[in-house]
Structure 1
Amino acid sequence: MKPIIQPVWDLPLRLFHWLLVGLIAFSWWSGENHEMEWHRWSGYAILFLLVFRLYWGLAGGRTARFSRFVRGPRAALAYLRGSGEADVGHNPLGGWSVVSMLAILIAMVMAGLFAVDVDGLESGPLADYVSFDAGRWASDVHSLIFNLLMGLIVLHIAAILFYLLARRRNLIGPMITGSVKAVDGAAAVPLRASVWRALTGLLIAAAITYFVSKGLHL
């Protein structure tokens, strides 16, 4: 039977993924080297991506929507037992991994927005809304959450290697090409990712990021 090409990830989702990878690495570098201006702009870029991803989780392509891959504990247990239903996109465990990653990234960015350094010279755009001590606490939380994020990233990489070595399934390739080859009698299922919805999401993310970067002042 002739292999068919099954779309797995739409372009906006793939761009989000790889831009986020690069920005996390750049945020670590800029923070370690005390390039705080660059660190701040990197944080704004991550905020922009997160706002867009939340929007795209509601309006994006089929596999990008939270309603498609956020399942309950029963579905996760069924997948672990090997009795879960196969579907294109995230499996139930992968879905919760995505939710955990997004949650910890949002918490890290939120803490950074209120953070203040030891000398009070560098601060997030929302630091004026809290006391100096609260800003210092936010800075500590920001650093702590980044360390937790590193742990999640290690687990993420370990899962990718497990699928590649134990199950002979390449998860990186589809995140680059957007599709996989599959032998199936049925036609490929479209993702239905709208260009206009993507542009709307970009505008919303840009507006919110700009508003936050200005300290919630127009």
Structure 2
Amino acid sequence: MAKNGTLPDFDAPSKGVTSPSSLAHVVLRTGNFEPMVDFYIKFLGGRIAHRNEFIAFITYDSEHHRIALISVPGTGPKQPKSSGLEHIAFTFPSLAMLLLAYRQRKQLGIEPVWSVNHGPTTSLYYKDPDGNMLETQVDNFESVDEATEFMSSKEFGENPIGTDVDAEDLIRRLREGEDEGVLKKRVEIGPRSLPDLDSM
């Protein structure tokens, strides 16, 4: 039903497709089932919604599942140079909360492989036991329009990758009273290429 309780006109001509209301979940195939289940519960501060010997549904919020893991016989290791999903990103409401989760993961032995201020976001990247990349981020601008404007700038055109940051330094500076807005402003370093994330 449409929002007003009536059916939409299924036969109406259209120049596009109705967008989804949200991205619901990601399903990962693995040959490394138990370590992957353990990792995602810890990484997300999550819980099992349902599991059996070959599938686990994990959530961390009001959605019934956000990550599902399927153990499929014969699944080999990830091939870093093959096409496919590059990473999954999770957003935090503030820089302080992003860094709190970083410290909590660190206590569990989970450390980022890359920390960077892209401009639109400040992001910490991790790898799961299969080598899939996970991004945890905070938005650096107050609105989507501001972020989009920055992405149209000369600086972003010159360097769409970003400037590396040190999470511990950001924590130190927050504790010293620096404003999050200042810390989230990207330091411009000029052109750079994408780092070799496969080697990280």
Shorter-chain TM-score: which interval?
Answer: under 0.3
Higher helix share: 1
Give the structure, 1 or 2, with the largest relative contact order (CA under 8 Å, sep 6 or more): 1
> How does the TM-score come out when normalised to structure 1?
0.19
> How does the TM-score come out when normalised to structure 2?
0.20
